[in-house]
């Protein structure tokens, strides 16, 4: 399958700071690809290069067959971009924003309305509301509609669901699945690891470097090894106590339980009796199933 995004040794520096350090990966046509990494990893810089808002210092990147430097004008017509911050005009109405973006790309709203209809229908009730007065979920739907109105081949989404509630996030990912079925290639970054698991492939990025690229399933292979749950009614004292136990590498909150990563020598039964001696009489430890969130925390710790 052909690659719609192709990134080779891409490097960007801001003075001393290396924001992107020889980044290479590719995204095949019609796929849903996740970009995962901590704040400051270089994700937004990468988006800005792929959308031709910044030029790379070294390396090359092509989107939809167009080079980000040489063919930037042609490239821009093939992409839809949702930046991290809400970037529509707050003092234009819902309809005015949509028509404005359509006219920038020289298309009519009605020409491509079928593509955005499932998303935009929820905004139809208030065509004359100012975009700035919409709630978070509605802003996001309008931004996605504006990014799609010229029927781009590639959708570039930089943390589109930050500040969005769990139900609206699920709906949003449902819409992405529909767009993907229509052949649109999607590159999306997120800080929600449940969303990362919905991508077909993921690139893990930290400090400007790509650490790994694979399917979510392959990335978390082996994560269950020496991974345990711990719980007690006193979770914060438990967290502090577990960290003092021998053979514990890391312990962190994980929803209703704690997760422990341990060395081979770790013995759960011994650990429980030590915790009980410390007064945590209801402490329990049992094997855990690892996911992308565990992987992320492990990589963040190893990388400092």
* Residue 84 sits in the site that holds other proteins (CB under 8 A): yes
| Cα dihedral across residues 111, 149, 117, 135: positive or negative | negative
Nearer Cβ to other proteins, position 89 or 252? 252
Comparing CA positions, the residue from 75, 103, 87 lying closest to residue 112 is 103
Which string of x and - marks every residue 223-252 that binds other proteins (by CB under 8 A)? ------------xx--x------------x
Cβ at position 91, least distance to other proteins in Å: 19
**In the set 159, 227, 245, 290, which binds other proteins (CB under 8 A)?**
159
Cβ at position 135, least distance to other proteins in Å: 4
| Residues 189-218 contacting other proteins, CB under 8 A | 191-193
Nearer Cβ to other proteins, position 111 or 121? 121
**Neighbour order of strands in the sheet with 66-67:** 17-28, 3-14, 58-63, 66-67
* Residue 17 sits in the site that holds other proteins (CB under 8 A): no
Cβ at position 252, least distance to other proteins in Å: 5
* Residue 168 sits in the site that holds other proteins (CB under 8 A): yes
**Neighbour order of strands in the sheet with 227-231:** 248-254, 257-262, 227-231, 284-287
| Cα dihedral across residues 26, 32, 36, 39: positive or negative | positive
Question: C-alpha angle 29/30/32, rounded to 5°?
Answer: 110
* Residue 136 sits in the site that holds other proteins (CB under 8 A): yes
* Residue 167 sits in the site that holds other proteins (CB under 8 A): yes
Nearer Cβ to other proteins, position 18 or 297? 297
Ramachandran assignment for 106, one of left (phi > 0), alpha (psi -120 to 50 degrees), beta (any other): left
**Neighbour order of strands in the sheet with 201-206:** 79-82, 154-158, 185-189, 32-36, 201-206, 209-214
**In the set 87, 253, 263, 277, which binds other proteins (CB under 8 A)?**
253
Residue 303 DSSP code: T
CA atoms of 198 and 192, how far apart (whole Å)? 10
* Residue 95 sits in the site that holds other proteins (CB under 8 A): no
Q: Which stretch binds other proteins (CB under 8 A): 19-27, 89-97, 111-119, 254-262?
A: 254-262
* Residue 135 sits in the site that holds other proteins (CB under 8 A): yes
CA atoms of 151 and 135, how far apart (whole Å)? 25
CA atoms of 191 and 136, how far apart (whole Å)? 17
Question: Which residues of the chain form contacts with other proteins (CB under 8 A)?
Answer: 37-40, 84, 122, 125-126, 135-138, 159, 162-170, 191-193, 235-236, 239, 252-256, 293, 296-297, 300-301
């Amino acid at each position: 399958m052909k690659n719609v995004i192709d990134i080779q040794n891409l490097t960007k520096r801001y003075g001393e700071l290396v924001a992107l350090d020889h980044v290479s990966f590719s995204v095949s046509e019609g796929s849903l690809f996740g970009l995962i990494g901590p704040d400051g990893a270089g994700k937004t810089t990468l988006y800005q290069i792929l959308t031709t808002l910044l030029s790379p210092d070294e390396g090359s990147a092509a989107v939809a067959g167009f080079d980000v430097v040489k063919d930037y004008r042609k490239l821009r017509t093939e992409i839809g971009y949702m930046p991290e911050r809400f970037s529509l005009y707050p003092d234009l109405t819902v309809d005015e924003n949509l028509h404005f973006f359509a006219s920038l790309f020289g298309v009519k709203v009605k020409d491509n309305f079928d593509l955005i209809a499932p998303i935009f229908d929820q905004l139809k009730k208030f065509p004359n509301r100012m975009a700035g007065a919409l709630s978070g979920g509605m802003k996001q739907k309008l931004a996605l509609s504006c990014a799609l109105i010229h029927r781009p081949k590639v959708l570039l989404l930089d943390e589109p669901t930050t500040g969005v509630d769990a139900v609206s996030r699920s709906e949003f990912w449902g819409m992405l699945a529909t767009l993907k079925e229509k052949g649109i290639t999607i590159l999306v970054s997120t800080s929600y690891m449940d969303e990362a698991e919905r991508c077909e492939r993921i690139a893990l990025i930290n400090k400007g470097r790509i650490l790994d690229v694979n399917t979510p399933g392959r990335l978390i292979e082996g994560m269950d090894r020496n991974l345990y749950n711990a719980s007690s009614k006193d979770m914060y004292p438990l967290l502090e106590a577990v960290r003092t136990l021998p053979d514990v590498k890391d312990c962190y909150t994980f929803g209703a339980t704690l997760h422990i990563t341990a060395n081979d020598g770790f013995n759960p039964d011994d650990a429980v009796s030590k915790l009980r001696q410390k007064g945590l009489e209801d402490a329990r430890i049992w094997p855990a199933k690892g996911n992308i969130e565990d992987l992320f925390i492990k990589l963040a710790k190893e990388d400092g």
